[in-house]
Amino acid sequence: MDSGKVLPSAELYALGCVLWTLVMGKPAFSGDDAVQSLLDQLNQELPPLDPPQGTKIAAGFRVLVGKLTGYVPGERYANANDLLSDIRKVRAGETIEPIPKQHKGTEADSAPARANSGIVILIALVVANLILLVLAG
């Protein structure tokens, strides 16, 4: 969000967050207000997928969600075709490997740039509020 580039990995990250929320029964980042939730998401990794007791998830699904929600784009699927390939492997009973963690700052193009995050968050909140007003009105 704060890099200024909308890449397929951002959309796949959003899908991973939705899947994480469905399994966990709550959003990963739910601060006291929307701004805090966005700041938490920008500055923290997604918590591990550790479902409530009694909920069983396949190891392959856990890896898929991890590859969707990597903190930096280089830790995520590059595109939907890579995701589909892994889904096919999991369905065929094959093992898929997670993407290795990257150290922040080692890949300048893919590491989140935090300098302008406040402005981007403000713009995102304004746009979200406008959409809500249109839908409510």
Q: Going residue by residue through the chain (137 aa), what tens digit of pLDDT does each one get?
A: 556 677 777 888 889 989 999 988 888 888 778 888 778 877 888 888 888 888 888 889 999 999 998 888 888 898 899 999 999 999 999 999 988 887 655 444 444 444 444 555 556 666 666 676 667 65
CB proximity list for 12: less than 8 A, separation 6 or greater: 68, 76, 77, 79, 80, 83
Predicted TM-score (pTM) of this structure: 0.67
Closest CA to 21 of 72, 76, 56, 69: 69
